[in-house]
Amino acid sequence: MRISGATRRIGQWIGPPLLALVLYWSGLTAWFQKDDFAWLQLRNLLASGRSIWWILFEPLAQGTIRTLSERLYFLSFYEFFGLHALPYHLALFAIFLIALTLLQSVAAKLTGSAAAGFWAAILWVVNAALATPLAWVSGMDEVMFAGFFLLDLWLLLRYLETGDNRFYAAQCATFVLGFGVIELNVVYPAVALIVVLIRAPRESWKIAWLFPVSALYAILHSLAAPLPESGAYRMQFDAQMIRTLATYLNWSLGTGWLRVLNLDSFALRASLATPLMLGLAAFLVRRIRERQWIALLFPAIFVIVLAPLLPLRDHMEYEYLTVPVIGLAMLGGWALASANRLIAIPLAAIYVAVSIPVGHSLTATLHDRSVRLQKIFYAVDALHRAHPTKMAIFTGASKETFDDMIDHHAFALIGIPEACISSRDHFGGEFAIDAATEQRAIEERRAVVYDLHDGVRELR
């Protein structure tokens, strides 16, 4: 049976979103964890007297000022939906689907192939780096950055196609708004300049003014939130950045995270990663020899977007690849659409066979952990309603419960005025309470002890 052109086009546009729903469905049903609890408390800070301007623009969380992707997102959604996580995830996923559609369009415009756009979207969807931002509410910054980045490129390409200054003005506006999403927005002018130099060099002066905007933002941000001189977020500018880039490249293929599947053999990782890298490199060289210079843009996106993160070698995260891998996905999609299928299809099969299981494992881990935290959270809530004004002392908490919930002051969301880790446990940091203070608080009935080992129960 012949498939009509219209049917094929519809399938190309709805295929990637449907695949995303299948792969990341469990992420939609995850609850909150880690940084989510800190951002959910913005409403409490506002109620306690903090001004809305402090809430929206004060440097927080390692000095970040992400007004759109964190502050307004959590503040408004908590106002309407409280601790019901599904609406947060639905909004995140909706923005991802918009970004996915933009990617397909941008890749098709850049390569001149609708099939390349389709395969680029598929390759991005299956990339395991998306698992964390699509299953974690705080992943909104990465997802929204992808949306803004691709929207900027789409508007730029539409301007170059039509000469309509409205598209140019819209690109400038979305670029400026992008600084409210994430600091990495500063890299966009470099990517835009490459596009313009290849497609319409005479228009490059219109991109030039974007660089001072990025520079001004970087200066103002550094003044408001100076870079840390120690700790995991210390910037280290040295030759080690090359190794960090290589690690991220390995991760981008999924092979660097095979350990989550209990496959930690270097020989196995190398045997899978090497043909993938060589295949992409061979296709890139072929396009350059054919003077199709737009091919240079795709690895450039990967390197340029990652560049500000390379000095953070002590804080490497898989989700940081959400936007950089867009460049590799477009290059790979173009290869699938136009290269020798006898070579391209087996290489794509390796990539998919690695990425989907790794992504599924990471998504399931995030989902299951959030559900465990949710059960503990509401069990404590139910017990503590009988002691609404008392200090809560926790004992028997696992490292997961402490790191992903207690350490982020999660229980302040249900009105527990003070939460501590019992002296009988050997961790707790700022939450630790000494034995004498603990005993006195219990005897004076100013505190209640909750045992979190194997369920939640109140100790009497």
pLDDT in tens, 143-177: 999 999 999 999 999 999 999 999 999 999 999 99
The sign of the CA dihedral 223, 225, 228, 232 is negative
Residue 49 lies in a domain: yes
Q: What SS3 state is found at 405? A: coil
Residue 214 tokens read as 């990025």
347: number of Cβ within 10 Å = 21
Top pLDDT among 106 and 343 is at: 106
Residue 77 lies in a domain: yes
* 132, 30 contact by CB (below 8 A): no
Kindly report the average pLDDT of the chain as a whole number: 92
Where do we find the tokens 């409205």? 166
Tell me, yes or no, whether 339 and 434 share the same domain.
no
Please state, in angstroms and rounded to a whole number, the distance separating the CA atoms of residues 183 and 320. Answer: 12
Top pLDDT among 9 and 99 is at: 99
Tell me, yes or no, whether 151 and 100 share the same domain.
yes
Tell me, yes or no, whether 219 and 93 share the same domain.
yes
Top pLDDT among 380 and 454 is at: 380
Residue 378: the pLDDT is 95
Tell me, yes or no, whether 286 and 432 share the same domain.
no
pLDDT tens by residue, 58-81: 998 888 899 999 999 999 999 999
350: number of Cβ within 10 Å = 18
Residue 1 lies in a domain: no
Q: What percent of the chain has pLDDT over 70?
A: 98
Where do we find the tokens 């546009």? 13
Q: What percent of the chain has pLDDT over 90?
A: 73
Lowest mean pLDDT of 95-109, 129-143, 299-313, 392-406, name the range: 392-406
Tell me, yes or no, whether 263 and 401 share the same domain.
no
Domain boundary among 322, 340, 367: 367
Tell me, yes or no, whether 117 and 194 share the same domain.
yes
Tell me, yes or no, whether 108 and 219 share the same domain.
yes
Tell me, yes or no, whether 172 and 308 share the same domain.
yes
Tell me, yes or no, whether 267 and 391 share the same domain.
no
Residue 289 lies in a domain: yes
For 426, counting Cβ atoms within 10 Å of its Cβ (0-12 exposed, 13-18 middle, 19+ buried), the class is exposed
Tell whether the model's pLDDT for residue 335 goes beyond 60. Answer: yes
Average pLDDT of the residues in 392-396: 91
Tell me, yes or no, whether 291 and 358 share the same domain.
yes
Domain boundary among 319, 334, 367: 367
Residue 117, C-beta contacts closer than 8 angstroms, at least 6 positions apart: 12, 103, 104, 105, 106, 107, 108, 109, 111, 333
Residue 97 lies in a domain: yes
315: number of Cβ within 10 Å = 13
Average pLDDT of the residues in 379-393: 91
The predicted model scores a pTM of: 0.94
Tell me, yes or no, whether 426 and 317 share the same domain.
no
Element (H, E) at 136: none
Tell me, yes or no, whether 429 and 350 share the same domain.
no
Residue 208 lies in a domain: yes
Q: For 365, phi and psi rounded to 5 degrees?
A: -60, -45
First to last CA, the chain: 73
Residue span of the structural domain in which 175 resides: 12-367
Q: 447-451 and 419-421 as β-strands: parallel, antiparallel, unpaired?
A: unpaired
Average pLDDT of the residues in 235-255: 93
Residue 168 lies in a domain: yes
Number of structural domains the chain divides into: 2
Residue 4 lies in a domain: no
For 141, counting Cβ atoms within 10 Å of its Cβ (0-12 exposed, 13-18 middle, 19+ buried), the class is buried
